[in-house]
Chain A
Amino acid sequence: DQQVKQNSPSLSVQEGRISILNCDYTNSMFDYFLWYKKYPAEGPTFLISISSIKDKNEDGRFTVFLNKSAKHLSLHIVPSQPGDSAVYFCAAEIGGGSGGGADGLTFGKGTHLIIQP
């Protein structure tokens, strides 16, 4: 049972344009969401996160939007750059704010973003 779904295995975007990566979840207990970026042969790198009490979080070129009623979140990258080409994982967890370290994250299968020059 896939609780975090990234339905687009790949996405191709022209350099300079906006990249929008989507993620849906089914477990209403999730209250903290994260995006990770992964290059081949490397571990995932944390990108940006959002708590369920917010609907938007922005960090430079990256913005994450959360629609709790739709159980949907999206990552916007603008403008897209060649170095953004990577696999992007959406992840979620339960128990936000409990402190003392996080429990395991539930990951989607990833979306391979390709930025074309």
Chain B
Amino acid sequence: NAGVMQNPRHLVRRRGQEARLRCSPMKGHSHVYWYRQLPEEGLKFMVYLQKENIIDESGMPKERFSAEFPKEGPSILRIQQVVRGDSAAYFCASSPPGGRSYNEQFFGPGTRLTVL
């Protein structure tokens, strides 16, 4: 059973370009979470999605950032017109549906975005 997969692992963009980060959850998982880790900081929650639905996007910046989790395919975190402050590690996590015993989120290896 493969773990959470993220690609690319490293992404370099120039200011003003778009960044697309992909996350494939673990098999059987229908919940996806995106987190951002700035240098010397902890992970900050961005958005929580289920298939075709955004459940909680309270941590998403209001502009330039969007996320989706389509019925087929990976979850995508999209950052338009990137700025240097977007440089960070972006982690995706997934969890299965169910009760409290399944509450642990399994993390992918992260995508390190560098904006030049």
Interface residues of A (CB under 8 A from B): 4, 6, 32, 34, 36, 41-46, 49, 51, 89, 91, 93, 96-97, 99-110
The CA of A106 and the CA of B43, in the complex, are separated in Å by: 8
For B104, list chain A residues within 8 Å (CB). 34, 46, 49
Residue pair B109, A42 in contact (C-beta under 8 Å): yes
For A102, list chain B residues within 8 Å (CB). 31, 33, 95, 103, 105
**CB-CB nearest in chain B for A2:** B42
The CA of A34 and the CA of B42, in the complex, are separated in Å by: 14
The CA of A49 and the CA of B100, in the complex, are separated in Å by: 11
The CA of A45 and the CA of B104, in the complex, are separated in Å by: 10
A contacts with B: majority SS: loop
For A51, list chain B residues within 8 Å (CB). 100
Residue pair A107, B100 in contact (C-beta under 8 Å): no
Extra pairs beyond A41-B109, A104-B33, A104-B46 (14, CB < 8 Å): A32-B100, A42-B110, A43-B91, A43-B108, A46-B105, A46-B106, A91-B43, A97-B99, A99-B98, A100-B97, A100-B98, A101-B95, A102-B33, A107-B35
User: By the criterion of a CB under 8 Å from any partner CB, how many residues of chain B are at the interface?
Assistant: 37
**Is B45 part of the binding interface, using a Cβ–Cβ cutoff of 8 Å?**
yes
**Is B79 part of the binding interface, using a Cβ–Cβ cutoff of 8 Å?**
no
| Contact (A101, B31) CB under 8 Å given A41-B109, A43-B107, A46-B105 | yes
**CB-CB nearest in chain B for A41:** B109
Residue pair A108, B107 in contact (C-beta under 8 Å): no
**CB-CB nearest in chain A for B45:** A104
For A99, list chain B residues within 8 Å (CB). 98-100
For B33, list chain A residues within 8 Å (CB). 102, 104-105
A48 to chain B, nearest CB (A): 10
For A42, list chain B residues within 8 Å (CB). 109-110
**Is B24 part of the binding interface, using a Cβ–Cβ cutoff of 8 Å?**
no
Residue pair B110, A43 in contact (C-beta under 8 Å): yes
The CA of A99 and the CA of B33, in the complex, are separated in Å by: 16
Q: Which 9 A-B pairs have the closest CB atoms?
A: A104-B45, A43-B107, A107-B42, A101-B31, A99-B99, A109-B42, A107-B43, A46-B104, A44-B107
